Amino acid sequence: MIDRIRTTIADLQADMIGWRRHLHQHPELSFHETNTVRFVVEKLRAEGIEVRDGVGRRTPDAPGTGAIALVKGEKAKSDACIAIRADLDALPITEVGKEAYCSKNPGVMHACGHDAHTAMVLGAGIALHRLRREWSGTVMLVFQPGEEKEPGGASLLVKEGVFNDPKPAGILGQHVTPELPIGKLGFRTGPFMAAADELYITVKGRGGHAGSPHLCIDPVPIAAQLILALQQVVSRRNKPGQPMVLSLGKVIANGATNIIPDEVRIEGTMRTFDETWRTELHRMLPELGRGICEGLGATVDFRIVKGSPVVKNDPELTARIREAAVAFMGAENIVDMDIRMGAEDFAYYTHVMPGCFFRLGTGNPDKPGTQSGLHRAEMDIDEDALAIGAGMMAWGAISERRV
């Protein structure tokens, strides 16, 4: 069956490259993937695959921009089901390079590989449909919106009950990985990717003339003290050896050379692996902020938006999918991954059903951009990885012993 999948995927390789490049040229931000999901649905329905669109509603009056498709094997009657997932959204990044298929939407780019994820799950689903007489059970194709933005499209699909009928025995996901060479797959059992929370902080003082700081409450040095104190939480309050990251990527003090501003706005992210420590941080950090700011005459609005939990790879499912990967790729091409402080809303799936999230090597030193990190303006992939990823998703789904 592996050879049949390889052959069918090879027949789809040119299509997958075309799909990926089309999506790359027409990226859409989280929860605005209207044209993206329409493109996917049209391709699936053209193959005769059952599709339900309009899922993943962020608000009751907003249209859902996700889709669920069911590919059914006909070899024997079976109620078994396994899901494979793709994410649809792009990032607010202005792209550089890739003139042949560069983004046509200014300031929006598929810099995280979701265009490739979508093309690969689309290819895997179509391949399995064409081979439906050779396997049994159901493979659910999950095309979710909003992976890059809270509340996370995965959480919305879970809340909407899209996995209730049929109910998958497990779910597979993969992510392009530039630091892994093309032809490699990376696996890890248990906790894999961090829980992520967003920090929104506003330090409020009293602005005025920069030449008269004694008449002001300058929020800039107060914010600076708070930033340093938050870093000391990581180095001095966090247990040594316990993974944690706190990064503040946006600081706005909108004054001028001769103007002290009224406030400083700070935004960042907090990544953890321990849920008890995460809960304690939600209590501790606003309290720390109030203590520093009020002690220096300012006030603070310290808001933490709770994001996705830890990605937990189910040991049994991951072991079986890893075995399938060895059969599909060869043991020499399967590598062990360390934990990653990046976050993934695939985590929501792993907290309600067994999940296996693995990494797909897409780096090639001979192809520009393919070794660039994710979320960078020059990020690209070696498109030969599309056949590998699509084939592995298809084989992993039907080789899973419950399907």
The full set of domains in the chain, from first to last, is 2-194+310-399 (3.40.630.10), 195-306 (3.30.70.360)
Cα–Cα distance between 273 and 254 in angstroms, integer?
Answer: 35
Cα-to-chain-centroid distance, residue 294: 37
147 belongs to the catalytic site: yes
Report pLDDT for 353. Answer: 98
Decide the pairing of beta strands 171-181 and 355-363: parallel
Q: How far is CA 147 from CA 66, 74, 144, 311, in A?
A: 11, 33, 7, 13
Give the DSSP letter of residue 26: S
Q: What is the pLDDT of residues 184-237, one digit of tens each?
A: 999 999 999 999 999 999 999 999 999 999 999 999 999 999 999 999 999 999
Query: Residue 395 is inside which H or E element, if any?
Result: helix 385-399
The tokens of 216 are what? 């002001």
Cα–Cα distance between 294 and 217 in angstroms, integer?
Answer: 11
Q: How far is CA 299 from CA 204, 224, 290, 296, 402, in A?
A: 5, 14, 7, 9, 56
- Which strands make up the sheet holding 334-336, listed edge to edge? 50-55, 66-74, 136-144, 81-87, 171-181, 355-363, 185-187, 334-336
Which residues are bridge partners to 252 per DSSP?
A: 265
Burial class (CB in 10 A: 0-12, 13-18, 19+), 232: exposed
* Pick from 3, 14, 6: nearest CA to 124: 6
Report pLDDT for 61. Answer: 86
Residue whose entry in the numeric block shows the structure tokens 């999948």: 5
* Pick from 36, 264, 247, 2: nearest CA to 127: 2
Q: Of 28, 53, 87, 147, which residue is the catalytic one?
A: 147
Report pLDDT for 60. Answer: 84
Q: Of 89, 95, 115, 400, which residue is the catalytic one?
A: 89
Q: Is 56 left (phi over 0), alpha (psi -120 to 50) or beta?
A: left
Cα–Cα distance between 158 and 57 in angstroms, integer?
Answer: 11
- Residues in the chain where the model's pLDDT stays below 70: 402
Burial class (CB in 10 A: 0-12, 13-18, 19+), 127: buried
- Counting every residue written for the chain, the total comes to 403
- Residue 152, classed as helix, strand or coil, is coil
**Cis ω before 166 (30° cut-off from 0):** yes
Report pLDDT for 403. Answer: 72
89 belongs to the catalytic site: yes
Q: Is the dihedral of CA 32, 35, 38, 44 positive or negative?
A: negative
Cα–Cα distance between 203 and 55 in angstroms, integer?
Answer: 39
